[in-house]
Structure 1
Amino acid sequence: MAMQADRSGIGESQAVLRISDLSKSYIMGEVQVDALKQVSLDFYAGELAVLLGASGSGKSTLLNIIGGLDTPTSGKLFFHGREITAATEAELTAYRRRSIGFVFQFYNLISSLSALENVQLVTEIAENPMKADEALRLVGLGDRLNHFPAQLSGGEQQRVAIARAVAKRPELLLCDEPTGALDFQTGKLVLDVIENVNRELGTTTLVITHNASIAGMADRVVRLRSGEVSEDRRNLTRVSPSELVW
């Protein structure tokens, strides 16, 4: 069933995340590679945005800079008005620990720990975490708390990774190709979990993907091409992840 995209409050308040003329260049041998070229974007509280682009479009570079894992060559990034691009390494560590939840294509679970213990690794260092079992129930794994990664399917392992990311109650959830290692049906289940976290917790959520079909579930779609923003639009209606087809 199609859903109305214009949720109350999104885009009306001050931006949670403000990106201003962000550029990133690499030197590879004697060649300069411009991964990002003066990208400017604002993201708002509770927004679910899909960042689309082919391999090499700059979307992962942008997500890594937003998450404090990389630094730009020029330009600025602000989080609640505070310039993250001017932060010290200690301040960046605190930003990542307190404010950012990461979900990657590969789950990065510790094989010798149960699902519950994998999530507890985060809750033990977070300032105001939810209980690990609560986070796992949020992603539909309340009956798998004591299972080890090898006893879980790929989709279940990705849901543990999502639970681990959201257990510290981050303001930003950054998902880098979260369905890339999953089959079509399992991928839709994982996207449903991401949408549920966004809806239930109000977490500003950025999902990057090369799969244009996933854009249908978003409040907003940003397309990157050759390091530049080629499209930035809001969906008039949103589609439930269960209805996505690719």
Structure 2
Amino acid sequence: MSMMDQVGQTVLSVDGVSKSYLMGEVTVKALHDISLDFGAGQLVVLLGASGSGKSTLLNIVGGLDVPDSGTVSFKGQDINAKGEAGLTAFRRRSIGFVFQFYNLIASLSALENVQLVTELVENPMPPEEALRLVGLGDRINHFPSQLSGGEQQRVAIARAVAKRPELLLCDEPTGALDYRTGKLVLEVIEKVNRELGTTTLVITHNVSISGMADRIITLRSGEVVEDRRNEKKISPSELSW
């Protein structure tokens, strides 16, 4: 059995993906011939410095961007085969996004921010349940301005998981948080992965965070330079940096 299947059967395949951007008069190659498979239920950390290509890869996997060449397949189906309409349906149905900045609507309560997403999908988790899952059952009527940064990020995670996504994509989810609060947010992400079985990709430049992962993929200059299974996975509460 390959490393990709250690946790579950392959659900997401990236095959020969390349992506370049024109920056002024210079062409910058963000990704070069990336091929990766991700197993159902895996918690994967994508490591790399700024400019390594990890955010570009996450955006392409999540249907927010399209590759110049190569394919991304989810459950055997090319996510780009049906154009923008197909990508929109894919993002809505299958993907939960968590970004560095929380993107909450200031005039809506925590509950209302989560409800916005649950109204878009067929079989959502009750918003109250999603907020309880992230430890905010007693804060559902609070507005973002009444919540700490860590609490706002947990609302953002609740919003992402309330639609029961099969893929949870987290882009520097602790980047705007202090050490203690960041660890609390990582504990929530690990809990979602463990209890719901959601295939989870976390991108970060923080090597220490890789300790919580089933698998660590390191990118440099748009290429995969290491792809390894984590033999000594630890709880986010044990992380230090």
Cα deviation 1:158-196 (Å, max 9, x = unaligned): 000000000000000000000000000000000000000
TM-superposed deviation, 1:94: 0.5
**Count of residues in correspondence between the two structures:** 238
Indicate the RMSD between aligned Cα atoms, in angstroms. Answer: 1.1
- Pick from 75, 88, 95: which aligns with 1:93? 88
Aligned: 1:108 with 2:107: no
Cα deviation 1:48-68 (Å, max 9, x = unaligned): 000000000000000000010
Gap runs ≥5 in structure 1: 1-8
TM-superposed deviation, 1:18: 0.3
Contact 1:11–1:44 (CA under 8 A) maintained in structure 2: yes
Name the CA distance, whole Å, in 2 between partners of 1:223 and 1:180. Answer: 18
Name the CA distance, whole Å, in 2 between partners of 1:68 and 1:235. Answer: 27
CA change 1:184–1:92 in 2 (3 A) is: same
Amino acid aligned to 1:220: R
TM-superposed deviation, 1:30: 2.0
- Pick from 183, 186, 190: which aligns with 1:188? 183
Aligned: 1:208 with 2:174: no
Sequence identity (%): 76
TM-superposed deviation, 1:23: 0.2
Name the CA distance, whole Å, in 1 between partners of 2:151 and 2:89. Answer: 29
Amino acid aligned to 1:22: V
Amino acid aligned to 1:25: S
- Pick from 13, 19, 22: which aligns with 1:24? 19
CA change 1:230–1:213 in 2 (3 A) is: same
Amino acid aligned to 2:36: L
TM-superposed deviation, 1:13: 4.7
Amino acid aligned to 1:117: E
Name the CA distance, whole Å, in 2 between partners of 1:199 and 1:226. Answer: 32
Name the CA distance, whole Å, in 2 between partners of 1:221 and 1:186. Answer: 23
Tell me the SS of whatever aligns to 2:117: helix
- TM-score w.r.t. length of structure 2: 0.97
TM-superposed deviation, 1:29: 2.2
Tell me the SS of whatever aligns to 1:196: helix
Name the CA distance, whole Å, in 1 between partners of 2:139 and 2:173. Answer: 20
Name the CA distance, whole Å, in 1 between partners of 2:90 and 2:233. Answer: 31
Residue equivalent to 2:145 = 150
Contact 1:54–1:225 (CA under 8 A) maintained in structure 2: yes
Contact 1:10–1:46 (CA under 8 A) maintained in structure 2: no
Contact 2:99–2:170 (CA under 8 A) maintained in structure 1: yes
Gap runs ≥5 in structure 2: none
Name the CA distance, whole Å, in 1 between partners of 2:35 and 2:21. Answer: 20
Residue equivalent to 1:74 = 69
- Pick from 220, 226, 229: which aligns with 2:224? 229
The 5 Å alignment of 1:25-174 reads 25-174=20-169
TM-superposed deviation, 1:14: 3.5
TM-superposed deviation, 1:31: 1.2
Cα deviation 1:96-155 (Å, max 9, x = unaligned): 000000000000000111000000000111111010000000000000010000000000
Amino acid aligned to 1:190: V
Amino acid aligned to 2:163: K
Tell me the SS of whatever aligns to 1:85: coil
Amino acid aligned to 2:39: Y
Amino acid aligned to 1:140: G
Name the CA distance, whole Å, in 1 between partners of 2:81 and 2:125. Answer: 30
- TM-score w.r.t. length of structure 1: 0.95
Aligned: 1:178 with 2:173: yes
